[in-house]
Amino acid sequence: MSDIHRTIEAVWKIESTRLIAGIARVTRDIGIAEELAQDALIAALEQWPEQGIPENPAAWLMTAAKRRAIDNLRRGRMLELKHGEITRDLEFQQQQLSHALDDALDQVIDDDVLRLIFTACHPVLAVEARIALTLRLICGLTTAEIARAFLVPEKTLGQRIFRAKRTLSEAHVPFETPRGDELRRRLDSVLSVVYLIFNEGYTATSGDEWMRAALCDEALRLGRMLVELLPAESEIHGLLALMELQASRTAARRGRNGEAILLPEQDRSLWDYAQIQRGISALEHAQQLGGGAGNYTLQAVIAACHARARTSADTDWERIVLLYDALLQISPSPIVALNRAVAVGMAHGPSAGLDALNSPTTLDGLTPESALTGYHLLHSVRGDLLMKLRRYTEARQEIERAIALTQNSREQKLLHEKVEQIQKLERGA
């Protein structure tokens, strides 16, 4: 790619969200808005290499999009206008459209961006479609980049986005920010999309490193945007805090040969303390707003307990157990219960940890044992606890079971090392 193309791409990354949001205010259809914005991008790619980057690229792009919208109107393509009755008078319609887009250009309001986010994360769409649309429309990633991040063919991803836009259109999803209770429910969807993007980058074990880091960055960027747009929503601050605190450990999570390094063994001097500070400050915001008991906020409090501990041994495990208890109250899940059992093992000893694996902690009375049979982490957790109890034969069997249950080669390697460690202890015992 030439320098000018990289520059145009950078301008696009900065301007596209507000451009699409501004046009969508007029067209009321994010599919059409995105097409018009894309047309403007194509015009820029054609003209800027010769004419140079304009003084005000945002205004240039909006003007190009406007020209295209009027062309479309002339060719008889319907655009649903916000203002004005539908008139047969083409001239009048053109004028209306032109004015509306001029207004949109003058002042892309924050609400437009918020509407765009809520529409891209609308529950009428499948979760994968929400993720793809969000990365495309709000983060300004290309279809190729998103496809690379999710290891799907570019064509598949393109179709996913195309179908998502059609679904929104066909379902007549209004371009608006929900209010009241509806806002809370819809915000849940937005936040889960952001956290899924983050986790895809943070925990995925395949795909290229650069793209995964980019997904974490994009999720963090979305979190910071949302905090600006809806500053009074505590769970947004909580989610941002959680992501900052988790991302702060990135440099310590991989050894030099790419092997995974788990939290207790991480070199804590490699953590990003500026990022931890940002996470803790976001957490304080969430708590000041009364969000202490929210799902993301509670998870962030747990992450902050780890971030504050200078060594693994200094961790306040008893507090973490209580936090997991609270988390189980609001979002009962066997995974949370499994994490709680690990914390119990650290706080009250391995035997208490084993008991916790068998105690019903979720609403439906399932224990981590019964709900997670066949899940490799259950077996590796149990293997760990058994090892600490010096029940080496059982411990080794559990870890071997975990190895058989995971496809992930990095995790397998880690587990094989654990087996060797147990064998050594067995011989020594």
Partner 1 sequence: MRFMMIVIPRAYQTAAPDAKPKLEDFARMMEFNKSLEKAGVLLAMDGLTPPSAGARISFNDGKATVTDGPFTEAKEVFGGYWIIQVHSREEAIEWAKRAPMSNGDTIEVRQVQGLADFPADVQDLLAKRYEALKKETAARA
CA pair distance 50, 310, nearest whole angstrom = 56
Residue 8 CA from chain centroid, whole number: 26
CA pair distance 398, 65, nearest whole angstrom = 61
List the beta bridge partners of residue 254: 260
Choices 76-84, 126-134, 263-271, 282-290; region in contact with partner 1 by CB under 8 A = 263-271
Interface residue with partner 1 among 59, 270, 326, 330 (CB under 8 A) is 270
Interface residue with partner 1 among 46, 71, 106, 267 (CB under 8 A) is 267
We find the least distance from the C-beta atom of residue 346 to partner 1, in angstroms, to be 11
For the chain, how many residues are written? 429
We find the least distance from the C-beta atom of residue 82 to partner 1, in angstroms, to be 23
Within 311-350, the residues that bind partner 1 by CB under 8 A are 311-313
> Among residues 163 and 224, whose Cβ is nearest to partner 1?
224
We find the least distance from the C-beta atom of residue 295 to partner 1, in angstroms, to be 22
Which residue is it, tokens 């791409």? 9
> Among residues 113 and 356, whose Cβ is nearest to partner 1?
113
Q: Is 155 in the site for partner 1 (CB under 8 A)?
A: no
> Among residues 176 and 267, whose Cβ is nearest to partner 1?
267
Would you give the DSSP letter of residue 254? Answer: B
Interface residue with partner 1 among 11, 81, 146, 422 (CB under 8 A) is 11
Q: Is 7 in the site for partner 1 (CB under 8 A)?
A: yes
In 3D space, the residue among 234, 243, 236, 240 whose CA is nearest the CA of residue 293 turns out to be 234
DSSP string for residues in 67-130? HHHHHHHHTT-----SSS---S-HHHHHHHHHHHHHHHHH---HHHHHHHHHHHT-TTS-HHHH
Within 86-125, the residues that bind partner 1 by CB under 8 A are 110, 113
> Among residues 41 and 220, whose Cβ is nearest to partner 1?
220
We find the least distance from the C-beta atom of residue 315 to partner 1, in angstroms, to be 12
We find the least distance from the C-beta atom of residue 215 to partner 1, in angstroms, to be 11
We find the least distance from the C-beta atom of residue 35 to partner 1, in angstroms, to be 23
We find the least distance from the C-beta atom of residue 108 to partner 1, in angstroms, to be 10
Q: Is 192 exposed, middle or buried (CB count within 10 Å of its CB: 0-12, 13-18, 19+)?
A: middle
Choices 60-68, 167-175, 281-289, 309-317; region in contact with partner 1 by CB under 8 A = 309-317
Within 185-224, the residues that bind partner 1 by CB under 8 A are 214, 217, 220-224
Token reading at 88:
């047969």
Would you give the DSSP letter of residue 260? Answer: B
Cβ(219)–Cβ(235) below 8 Å: no
Token reading at 50:
């010769």
We find the least distance from the C-beta atom of residue 252 to partner 1, in angstroms, to be 9
* Runs of H (alpha helix) within 123-171: 127-133, 143-149, 154-170
CA pair distance 162, 327, nearest whole angstrom = 38
We find the least distance from the C-beta atom of residue 217 to partner 1, in angstroms, to be 6
CA pair distance 97, 89, nearest whole angstrom = 12
CA pair distance 19, 56, nearest whole angstrom = 13
Three-state SS at 315: coil
> Among residues 46 and 314, whose Cβ is nearest to partner 1?
314
* Runs of H (alpha helix) within 270-391: 273-288, 295-308, 317-330, 334-348, 350-358, 368-371, 376-388
Choices 19-27, 307-315, 377-385, 405-413; region in contact with partner 1 by CB under 8 A = 307-315
If binding means CB under 8 A, how many residues of this protein chain bind partner 1? 34
Q: Which residues contact 108 (CB under 8 A, 6 or more apart)?
A: 18, 19, 21, 22, 25
Q: Is 278 in the site for partner 1 (CB under 8 A)?
A: yes
Q: Is 232 in the site for partner 1 (CB under 8 A)?
A: no
We find the least distance from the C-beta atom of residue 74 to partner 1, in angstroms, to be 34
Choices 6-14, 123-131, 286-294, 316-324; region in contact with partner 1 by CB under 8 A = 6-14
Note the residues at the interface with partner 1 (CB under 8 A): 3, 6-7, 9-11, 13-14, 17, 110, 113, 214, 217, 220-225, 228-229, 251, 255-256, 264-265, 267, 269-270, 274, 278, 311-313
